C-alpha cells in the first residue's frame, strides 16, 4: 500500500514529537552497567510505552496489532534511531522470531494464545543451537520421545539468548532418530516453567551474560506445542528464519545509519586539544564517505527485501545478502570507529544493554559486532548460501 | 643476524614459552589477568636484560628484549614490563651518567624498584615526540608541569620519569608518585591486561639532581625512547597474532561440523592461510625494525613506523578472525580470545595510530622531511 509523501512527513513529525516527549532522558547513563533486573524492568516498561502508541510491533499484520506499511515502518525506525530511543532488545525474539513462526506456521489456537501475550510482555528464547550443532544445525541431538499426547524431551541447547528471562522457547528437537537428518526434526513451543529445564547463563566476550546453556531433562511438551507437522520442523525453521531476517534488518540498518554512523560523524567533528578534528584528515573523511555510501545501499536493499517479501516475490538468498552486508558493515564501522577515536574508545567499560549494537562505546561495540557475524548463520555460511541458492553454484561437499 | 645470536634467541624463546605457558588468558579460562610474578621475572634475568653486567644485568640488547616481548604478547601478559623495563631501563641507559643512575639500574634489574616513563601516548603523534611536560625555572627553584594520558604501568611504580621540555630541549625528570602537585589517575581500559594512567603535574617542585639529560643529542634520545615504545607494541602484536593463529588452527582442526573438520572448508582454511600470510610479512617487518633499532641505525624510525603501522593493524584483523572462526565459543569470556582482541585493538592505538605512522612515512615521498 503506497502512502503519500505528505502523510509520511506528518507521521515523521508525530513520531519525532512523541520521542522527544517520551524517550526517557538520560536512559543511557542510567542503564550502563545496570543490574540485570533493572534492565529487564526498563525493557518491559519501554515496550509497553511503544505498544500504547501502536509502535511495538509495526511489522505484524493489522489484525494482531501491527499493519504499518513498509514506508511507514522505515520512518518509524528512522525517528526512533534519530531520537536515540532504547531498542527492544529483550523482546527481540518474541516480536520477530516467535511472531513470524506463529504467523507462518502456527495454528489459530497458538496465535490466539501467544500473539496477544507477547504484546502483554511474554518473552521468548530461541533454542536451536547445540554444542555439536551450530552451523550444521540439522545435526541437532536433543531428542523427543512421543508418549501418547506428549513428547518427553532430553538434551542440551547452547547459546540461547535471553533464556534466563524467557517465558517460552522455540525449540528444535529430533523426534525421529531413524530418519535422514532434516526429516526427523520437530518444532515446538516450550513453556519455560515446565519442570526439567535448567538454564545457566554464559558470560560473553564483553563480560555480559545474555546467552545461556539450557539442559533439558525429561521435559514434557504436549502435542499441542508442535508447530507444523511432526518431524516437519526443519522446513518451519527455514521459512521463519528468512521471514524474520528481512524485518530485523529493516530496523537495524536504520539504526546503523541514523545512530551508529551519525555518532561516528559526531565523534569525528569533536575538536581535539590542538583544535583539529579527525574529520580534517582526508584519510578519515574518505573512509567516512565510503561508509555512508555502503550504509545508503544497505538501507535501500533492506527496504527492497521487505517489500518483495511482503509481495511474496522474494529473490533467492536476498535475506542472506542483507544479513551478510549488515553484519560485516557494522563490524567494519565499529572497528574503524575504535581505530580513529583511539585510546579514548577504550575507556568506556560498560554500555547500556538497551542500546543494541551501536552504543558509542566503540571498543565494546566492535566486539559486540560479532553478535551479528556469528549467530543466525555465520558470514561463511551466508556466503555459501548466496553462492549456492543465489547463484546456483555447485554444492560444497558435505555442506548444506 | 648470525647463527650464534639465533641460537641464543631460540633458547630464550624456548625458556620464555615454557615459563609463560600457563599464563595465557586462553589457559586461565579468560578469568584472571593476574600480573606475572615480578620476582620470578627478576630471577629469570628478564628485568635486567639490557642492563650492563656491571649493574647486575645481562648486557644484552633490544634484539633479545624483542624475543621476550613477542612471548609476552603470545600470552597477553599482564605485567608492568613495558613501563618499567622496555621504557624505564632504556630511559636510564640513554641518560648521561649520573650518581643515581647506576644504582637505579641495579635495582631495576634486581626487581626491587619499578619505574614508569611518561611519553606522549594518547594523541597520534609520531616523529619527534613533543614532550608532554615543561620545566619552569624560577630562580634556583625548578618546577615541572604538564599532562600525559594513558601512560603504561604508572600505578605501583616507585618513580616516574617525565619527558619534559627544558627550554625546548627534551630531558627526563624523575618524580616520586607522592610528590606534592603530582596527580596520578588510573585509567582503566577495556583491555584488562594493561594498566594505564594519566599523569598530571601541576608545578611539581623538583630537585636539580632529578633532572637528567640524554647522552648525545637530546632529540635523538627522546626519539629513541619513543621508537622503543612503538616497536615494543609491534612485537607484542606479532606475538598475540601468532598465538591467535595457532589457537585457531588447532580449533578448526578439532571442531567438526557437517561431518568434517571445519578447517577442511575452504572458507575457513583460506582465512587461516591469510593469517599466516599476514604474520609472515609482520615478522619480517618486526625483524628489520628490531635490527635497525638495536644497531642504532640512523633513520631507524622508518622501519619502526612500518612495523608499528602494519603489525598493529594486522593483529586486530587476525584476533577478530580468530573469534569468528571459533563461532559461538569464540564469543565467550571463558575461552579468552576476547582478551587478545581487546589488547590488539589497544596496541593499535598506543604510541601512534597506523594512520599517523603511515602519514609520517608518506611525508618522505615528496622528497622532503626526515627520511
Ligand atoms: C551472541 C550469540 C547469540 C546467539 N544466540 C542464539 C540463540 O538465541 N539461539 C540459538 O539457537 N543459537 C544462538 N546462537 C548460536 C549461533 O547461531 C551459532 O553460534 C552459529 O550458528 C555458529 O555455530 P557454532 O557456534 O557452533 O560455530 P561452528 O558451526 O562450529 O562454526 C565455527 C566456524 O566454522 C565456520 N564453518 C562451519 N561450517 C562451515 C562450512 N560448511 N563452510 C564454511 N565455514 C564453516 C563457521 O562459519 C565459523 O566461522 C548465538 C550465538 C552467538 C555468538
Three-state DSSP string of A130-185: ECCECCCHHHCCCEEEEECCEEEEEEEEEEEECCCCCCEEEEEEECCCCCCHHHCE
Q: Which residue of B has its CA nearest to A373?
A: B324
Q: Are residues B104 and B198 in the same domain?
A: no
Q: Which three cell numbers stand for residue A202?
A: 554464559
Q: Are residues B352 and B251 in the same domain?
A: yes
Q: Are residues B108 and B130 in the same domain?
A: no
Cα distance between residue B74 and residue A150, in whole Å: 53
Q: Tell me the domain boundaries of chain A.
A: 5-90, 124-231, 245-390
A22 CA distance to ligand 1 middle (Å): 38
CB-based contact, B342 to chain A, within 8 Å: yes
Domain that holds residue B307: 218-365
Q: Are residues B332 and B222 in the same domain?
A: yes
Task: State pLDDT tens for residues B107-166.
Answer: 999 999 999 999 988 765 556 778 999 999 988 899 999 999 999 999 999 999 999 999
Residue-averaged pLDDT of chain B: 93
* Domain contains B239: yes
DSSP for A265-297, written as a single string: HHHHHSB-TTS-BGGGSHHHHHHHHHHHHHHHH
- What does the pLDDT average to over A155-166? 97
What is the pLDDT confidence band of residue B30, given thresholds at 50, 70 and 90? low
Q: How far is A329 from chain B (nearest CA, A)?
A: 14
User: Phi first, then psi: what are they for A227, rounded to 5°?
Assistant: -110, 125
Instruction: Please report the pLDDT score of residue B233 as a whole number.
Output: 98
**A122 noted as active-site residue:** no
* Domain contains B204: yes
What is the pLDDT confidence band of residue B349, given thresholds at 50, 70 and 90? very high
B318 CA distance to ligand 1 middle (Å): 19
Q: Are residues B336 and B319 in the same domain?
A: yes
Query: Given CA atoms A356, A204, A209, A349 in this order, what sign does their dihedral have?
Result: negative
To the question of domain A124-231 being in CATH 2.40.110.10, the answer is: yes
Q: Which three cell numbers stand for residue A104?
A: 507462518
Q: How far is B346 from chain A (nearest CA, A)?
A: 7
What is the pLDDT confidence band of residue B34, given thresholds at 50, 70 and 90? confident
Smallest CA-to-CA distance from A327 within A297, A371, A287 is with A371
Per CB-CB distance under 8 Å, the chain A contacts of B76 are none
Instruction: Please report the pLDDT score of residue A236 as a whole number.
Output: 95
* Domain contains B16: yes
pTM over 0.90: yes
Per CB-CB distance under 8 Å, the chain A contacts of B338 are 205-206, 367
CB-based contact, B321 to chain A, within 8 Å: no
CB-based contact, B257 to chain A, within 8 Å: yes
* Domain contains B167: yes
- CATH number of the domain to which B100 belongs: 1.10.540.10
Answer yes or no: are the C-beta atoms of B349 and B194 closer than 8 Å: no
Q: Which residue has the cell 612471548?
A: B71
Cα distance between residue A363 and residue A256, in whole Å: 16
Q: Which three cell numbers stand for residue A12?
A: 515523521
CB-based contact, B76 to chain A, within 8 Å: no
Q: Which three cell numbers stand for residue A329?
A: 558493515
- What is the homologous superfamily of the domain A245-390 according to CATH? Butyryl-CoA Dehydrogenase, subunit A, domain 3 (1.20.140.10)
Cα distance between residue A383 and residue A365, in whole Å: 24
Give me the interface pTM, i.e. the ipTM. 0.96
Instruction: Please report the pLDDT score of residue A353 as a whole number.
Output: 81
Q: Which residue has the cell 567494519?
A: A332
User: Phi first, then psi: what are they for B353, rounded to 5°?
Assistant: -75, 160
Q: Are residues B223 and B339 in the same domain?
A: yes
What is the pLDDT confidence band of residue B254, given thresholds at 50, 70 and 90? very high
Facing B190 at nearest CB: one of A139, A204, A363:
A363
The beta strand positions in B277-351, using DSSP E, are: none
**Residue A296 Ramachandran class (φ > 0 left, ψ -120 to 50 alpha, else beta):** alpha
Task: State pLDDT tens for residues B88-111.
Answer: 999 999 998 877 889 999 999 999
Candidates B119, B130, B327, B341: best to mutate against A (most CBs of A within 10 A) is: B327
Task: State pLDDT tens for residues B41-87.
Answer: 999 999 999 999 999 999 999 999 999 999 999 999 999 999 999 99
Smallest CA-to-CA distance from A188 within A60, A101, A91, A121 is with A101
Instruction: Please report the pLDDT score of residue A34 as a whole number.
Output: 87
Q: Are residues B361 and B227 in the same domain?
A: yes
Cα distance between residue B227 and residue B163, in whole Å: 14
Cα distance between residue A80 and residue A20, in whole Å: 10
- CATH number of the domain to which B142 belongs: 2.40.110.10
CA B275 to chain centre: 22
- Point out the domain boundary residue: B113, B144, B178: B113
Contact yes or no for B122 and A343 at CB 8 A: yes
Cα distance between residue B35 and residue B78, in whole Å: 5
> Helix, strand, coil % (nearest 5) of chain B?
55, 15, 30
Facing A343 at nearest CB: one of B150, B328, B354:
B150
Q: Are residues B341 and B229 in the same domain?
A: yes
Cα distance between residue A103 and residue A110, in whole Å: 9
Q: Which atom of ligand 1 is nearest to the CA of A133?
A: 26
Q: Which three cell numbers stand for residue B265?
A: 572448508
- What does the pLDDT average to over A254-280? 91
* Domain contains B291: yes
* Structural domain total, chain B: 3
Integer angstrom CA distances of residue A117 from A62, A95, A243: 16, 11, 21
> Helix, strand, coil % (nearest 5) of chain A?
55, 15, 30
Answer yes or no: are the C-beta atoms of B337 and B247 closer than 8 Å: yes
Answer yes or no: are the C-beta atoms of A287 and A341 closer than 8 Å: no
- What does the pLDDT average to over A93-117? 96
- Point out the domain boundary residue: B162, B178, B212: B212
Q: Is B334 a residue whose pLDDT tops 90? A: yes
Q: Are residues B56 and B95 in the same domain?
A: yes
Per CB-CB distance under 8 Å, the chain B contacts of A370 are 320, 323-324, 330-331
Q: Which of A79, A130, A208, A244 is catalytic?
A: A244
Give the contacts of B186 (CB within 8 A, at least 6 positions apart). Answer: B154, B155, B195, B196, B197
Contact yes or no for A135 and B350 at CB 8 A: no
Q: Are residues B241 and B199 in the same domain?
A: no
What is the pLDDT confidence band of residue A246, given thresholds at 50, 70 and 90? confident
Q: Are residues B229 and B94 in the same domain?
A: no
To the question of domain A5-90 being in CATH 1.10.540, the answer is: yes
Q: Is B1 a residue whose pLDDT tops 50? A: no
What is the pLDDT confidence band of residue A275, given thresholds at 50, 70 and 90? confident
Instruction: Please report the pLDDT score of residue B121 as a whole number.
Output: 83
* Domain contains B235: yes
Give the contacts of B54 (CB within 8 A, at least 6 positions apart). Answer: B102
Q: What is the largest CA-CA distance in chain A?
A: 76
Instruction: Please report the pLDDT score of residue A31 as a whole number.
Output: 87
Task: State pLDDT tens for residues B258-277.
Answer: 999 999 999 999 999 999 99
Ligand 1, CB within 6 Å, residue ranges: A 126-129, 134-135, 159-161, 211, 371, 374-376, 378, 380-381, 384, 399; B 255, 257-258, 262, 265, 267-268, 324-325, 327-328, 331
* Domain contains B370: no
User: Phi first, then psi: what are they for B57, rounded to 5°?
Assistant: -100, -170
Query: Given CA atoms B297, B302, B306, B309 in this order, what sign does their dihedral have?
Result: positive
Q: Are residues B137 and B86 in the same domain?
A: no
- What does chain A come to in residues? 400
- CATH number of the domain to which B249 belongs: 1.20.140.10
Q: How many CB pairs under 8 A join A and B?
A: 126
Residue of the CA atom closest to atom 17 of ligand 1: A375
- Residue A234 CB coordination number (10 Å): 20
Cα distance between residue A241 and residue A380, in whole Å: 17
CB-based contact, B355 to chain A, within 8 Å: yes
H or E stretch at B121: none
**Residue B130 Ramachandran class (φ > 0 left, ψ -120 to 50 alpha, else beta):** beta
Instruction: Please report the pLDDT score of residue B354 as a whole number.
Output: 95
Instruction: Please report the pLDDT score of residue A258 as a whole number.
Output: 86
Amino acid at each position: 500500500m503506497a502512502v503519500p509523501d505528505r502523510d509520511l512527513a506528518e507521521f515523521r513529525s508525530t513520531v519525532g514529537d512523541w520521542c522527544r516527549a517520551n524517550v526517557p532522558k538520560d536512559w543511557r547513563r542510567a542503564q550502563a552497567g545496570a543490574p540485570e533486573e533493572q534492565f529487564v524492568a526498563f525493557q518491559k516498561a519501554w515496550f509497553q510505552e511503544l505498544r500504547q502508541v501502536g509502535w511495538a510491533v509495526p511489522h505484524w499484520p493489522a489484525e494482531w496489532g501491527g499493519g504499518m506499511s513498509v514506508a511507514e515502518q522505515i520512518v518509524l525506525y528512522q525517528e526512533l534511531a534519530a531520537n536515540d530511543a532504547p531498542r527492544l532488545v529483550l523482546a527481540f525474539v518474541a516480536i520477530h522470531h516467535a511472531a513470524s513462526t506463529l504467523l507462518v506456521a502456527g495454528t489459530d489456537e497458538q496465535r490466539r494464545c501467544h500473539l496477544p501475550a507477547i504484546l502483554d510482555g511474554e518473552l521468548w528464547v530461541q533454542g536451536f543451537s547445540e554444542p555439536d550443532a551450530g552451523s550444521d544445525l540439522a545435526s541437532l541431538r536433543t531428542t523427543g520421545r512421543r508418549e501418547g499426547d506428549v513428547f518427553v524431551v532430553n538434551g542440551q541447547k547452547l547459546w540461547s539468548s535471553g533464556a534466563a528471562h524467557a517465558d517460552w522457547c522455540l525449540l528444535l528437537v529430533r523426534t525421529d532418530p531413524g530418519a535422514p537428518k532434516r526429516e526427523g526434526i520437530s518444532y515446538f513451543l516450550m513453556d519455560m516453567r515446565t519442570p526439567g529445564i535448567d538454564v545457566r547463563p554464559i558470560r560473553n566476550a564483553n563480560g555480559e551474560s545474555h546467552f545461556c546453556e539450557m539442559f533439558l531433562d525429561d521435559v514434557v511438551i504436549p502435542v499441542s506445542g508442535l508447530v507444523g507437522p511432526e518431524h516437519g520442523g526443519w522446513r518451519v525453521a527455514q521459512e521463519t528464519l528468512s521471514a524474520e531476517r528481512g524485518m530485523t534488518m529493516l530496523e537495524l540498518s536504520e539504526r546503523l545509519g541514523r545512530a551508529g554512523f551519525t555518532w561516528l560523524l559526531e565523534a569525528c567533528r569533536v575538536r581535539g586539544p590542538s583544535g583539529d578534528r579527525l574529520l580534517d584528515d582526508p584519510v578519515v573523511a574518505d573512509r567516512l564517505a565510503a561508509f555512508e555510501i555502503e550504509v545508503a545501499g544497505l538501507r535501500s536493499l533492506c527496504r527492497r527485501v521487505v517489500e518483495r517479501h511482503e509481495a511474496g516475490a522474494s529473490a533467492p538468498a536476498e535475506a542472506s545478502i542483507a544479513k551478510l552486508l549488515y553484519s560485516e558493515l557494522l563490524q567494519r564501522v565499529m572497528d574503524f570507529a575504535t581505530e580513529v577515536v583511539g585510546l579514548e574508545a577504550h575507556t568506556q567499560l560498560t554500555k547500556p544493554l538497551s542500546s543494541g549494537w551501536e552504543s558509542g562505546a566503540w571498543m565494546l561495540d566492535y566486539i559486540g559486532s560479532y553478535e551479528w557475524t556469528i549467530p543466525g548463520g555465520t558470514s561463511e555460511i551466508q556466503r555459501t548460501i548466496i553462492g549456492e541458492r543465489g547463484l546456483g553454484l555447485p554444492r560444497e561437499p558435505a555442506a548444506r | 643476524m648470525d647463527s650464534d645470536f639465533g641460537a641464543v634467541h631460540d633458547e630464550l624463546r624456548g625458556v620464555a614459552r615454557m615459563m609463560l605457558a600457563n599464563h595465557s588468558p586462553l589457559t586461565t579460562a579468560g578469568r584472571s589477568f593476574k600480573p606475572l610474578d615480578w620476582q620470578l621475572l627478576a630471577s629469570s634475568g628478564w628485568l635486567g636484560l639490557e642492563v650492563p653486567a656491571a649493574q647486575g644485568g645481562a648486557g644484552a640488547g633490544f634484539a633479545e628484549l624483542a624475543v621476550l616481548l613477542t612471548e609476552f604478547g603470545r600470552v597477553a601478559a599482564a605485567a608492568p614490563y613495558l613501563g618499567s623495563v622496555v621504557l624505564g631501563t632504556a630511559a636510564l641507559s640513554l641518560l648521561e651518567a649520573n650518581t643515581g643512575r647506576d644504582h637505579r639500574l641495579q635495582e631495576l634489574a634486581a626487581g626491587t624498584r619499578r619505574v614508569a616513563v611518561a611519553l606522549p601516548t594518547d594523541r597520534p603523534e609520531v616523529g619527534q615526540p613533543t614532550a608532554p611536560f615543561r620545566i619552569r625555572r624560577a630562580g634556583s627553584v625548578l618546577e615541572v608541569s604538564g599532562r600525559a594520558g594513558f601512560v603504561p604501568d604508572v600505578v605501583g611504580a616507585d618513580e616516574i620519569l617525565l619527558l619534559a621540555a627544558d627550554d625546548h630541549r627534551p630531558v627526563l625528570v624523575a618524580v616520586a608518585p607522592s610528590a606534592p602537585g603530582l596527580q596520578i589517575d588510573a585509567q582503566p581500559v577495556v583491555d584488562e591486561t594493561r594498566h594505564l594512567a594519566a599523569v598530571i603535574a601541576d608545578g611539581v617542585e623538583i630537585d636539580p639532581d632529578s633532572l637528567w639529560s640524554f647522552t648525545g643529542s637530546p632529540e635523538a634520545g627522546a626519539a629513541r625512547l619513543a621508537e622503543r615504545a612503538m616497536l615494543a607494541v609491534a612485537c607484542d602484536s606479532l606475538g598475540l597474532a601468532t598465538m591467535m593463529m595457532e589457537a585457531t588452527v588447532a580449533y578448526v582442526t578439532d571442531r567438526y561440523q557437517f561431518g568434517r573438520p571445519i578447517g577442511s572448508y575452504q572458507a575457513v582454511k583460506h582465512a587461516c592461510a591469510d593469517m599466516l600470510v599476514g604474520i609472515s610479512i609482520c615478522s619480517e617487518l618486526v625483524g628489520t625494525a628490531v635490527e635497525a633499532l638495536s644497531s642504532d641505525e640512523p633513520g631507524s624510525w622508518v622501519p619502526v613506523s612500518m612495523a608499528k603501522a602494519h603489525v598493529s593493524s594486522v593483529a586486530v584483523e587476525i584476533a577478530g578472525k580468530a573469534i569468528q572462526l571459533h563461532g559461538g565459543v569464540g564469543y565467550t569470556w571463558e575461552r579468552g580470545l576476547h582478551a587478545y582482541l581487546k589488547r590488539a585493538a589497544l596496541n593499535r592505538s598506543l604510541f601512534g595510530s597506523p594512520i599517523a605512522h603511515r602519514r609520517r612515512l608518506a611525508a618522505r615521498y615528496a622528497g622532503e622531511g626526515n627520511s
